[in-house]
Amino acid sequence: MTATLTDEKKSDDKKISLKIGIPREIYPNECRVSATPDTATKLQKLGFTILIETQAGEKASFSDRVYEEIGCKIIHNKKQLWQEADIILKVRPPEQEEVNLLDSKKTLISFIYPAQNPELLRELSDKKATVFAMDAVPRISRAQKLDALSSMANIAGYRAVIEAANNFGRFFTGQITAAGKVPPAKVLVIGAGVAGLAAIGTAKSLGAIVRAFDTRLVVKEQIESLGGEFLELEFAEDGSGEGGYAKTMSKEFIDAEMALFAEQAQEVDIIITTALIPGKPAPKLITEAMVSSMRQGSVIVDLAAEQGGNCEVTKPNEVYKYNGVTIVGLTDLPSRMASQSSQLYGTNLWHLLKDMGGNDNFTVNLEDEVIRGALVTYQGDVTFPPPKIAQPSPTTTVKPEVKIVTSESKKEKKSNSGLLWAVLAVLALIGIGIGAPSSFLSHFTVFILAVFVGWQVIWNVTPALHTPLMSVTNAISGIIIIGGMLQISGELTSPTTILGAIAILVGTINISGGFLVTQRMLKMFRR
């Protein structure tokens, strides 16, 4: 089922451009804007007309003049903007005065948080408006370009480390100076989602010793790839839930992780918490006793403050000291980097509108799982939560009869073949020893030993060093060529002469190829 907004607005001869309204955010201390000059230009290329409320981008360093220069229309009256626009793009959920400006012909795209705001959802449905929640976009591969939650979480994780450094009062990196040795800061990140990974990477880049914990074991490699140490419990339980989020764990697991946090709180200087469970209050992971056990001057940054906080003493929207420990409960971290946040969020919105057909084919396609997942109210109905995607039933196929080979029979065959090759090798060596001259045997022994030693050396070198190793072996190949030249002075048909010629040929190829590859690698690093 699809519904096309442009059907009523297109005449037979000329397509009418839909108007996108960008209002100024009225939520306290909100500095972001839903369209930057860059993303507004992209929306215009899709055929939309862009209306900007005056000073909508002022706090994000985008003046009205910049919008006017790219062809946007500046509207000086909020009510006029909402009346003229067909599609409204916002950052924060609409306030009551903004909800009152909606009607059945409007489409609103914004953060809504429908699970936490059922009353707002009911009011929006009463207005019969079409509303998309950017926080409800399904977390599937195809929808990554629309994932505004991840875009904002990435910035929040980065900014959390900056706020921690600002309140810490010491270096993150360790230093040895004439005035003495400065130890590096120790940072614990709880939760390794998008925000947590961003915090790990940022703290590590500043020189801190970073430890991280997550109930999902699958994130261990991601943490270690960023230079962090993964703190792991001796539990078989895994916390991986739907959509990449963590699930609620058993009481035994929670008790074990709380004991781990209590131990770490006494050792680390900074704790950054990012743990959230969709549709539920943030879990309490840092108790008052843990905070009291931390050293004076330590810092806790609680990214879950808006959902109740992971720390028992967090105060939303406040930064204060508790027993000498600074508690940062700011809920507007992305807004504190308004220019960057607006650019990423605006790009997410552009991708959504592009996928919906742009201006010419703007369509609410209920058969599209991404569009249906983000749609929360439609034609007066609340469409949240979306129906679960039905998985196709597996098709049953008739399998041909397969002969099962047991592991014992495989081992027996492998041992038999290995024994056969060993016997053949011994016979070959005996044959060479009987027929070959004594001078050849000495060289042949050296050759066998060189092959064995070379194989062991090359095999035990990491693949990342194979190219540098190739350059080093050029010198060895030169020695091989000299040795081969000394051996070709005999009869042309003698084994010694033939092997010497082969050695010269292989050594020459190795030297030439090694220098060519090395030169190519060096060119990659030239500007």
Instruction: Please state, in angstroms and rounded to a whole number, the distance separating the CA atoms of residues 458 and 466.
Output: 8
What are the C-alpha distances in Å from 65 to residues 35, 77, 339, 343, 421? 14, 17, 16, 18, 82
H helix or E strand, kind and range, residue 2: strand 2-4
120 and 55 Cβ atoms separated by less than 8 Å: no
What are the C-alpha distances in Å from 84 to residues 50, 63, 105, 208, 377? 11, 22, 11, 52, 21
**Strand, coil or helix: what is 211?**
strand
Buried b (16+ CB within 10 A) or exposed e, 40-78: bbbbbebbbbbbbbeebbebbebebeebeeeebeebeeb
**Residues designated as active site:** 139, 144, 147, 150, 245
Q: How many CB atoms lie within 10 A of CB 37?
A: 19
Please provide the DSSP assignment of 29-89 as one string.
T----S--HHHHHHHHHTT-EEEEETTTTGGGT--HHHHHHTTPEEES-HHHHHHH-SEEE
Instruction: Please state, in angstroms and rounded to a whole number, the distance separating the CA atoms of residues 112 and 92.
Output: 7
232, 233, 236, 239: CA torsion to nearest 10: -70
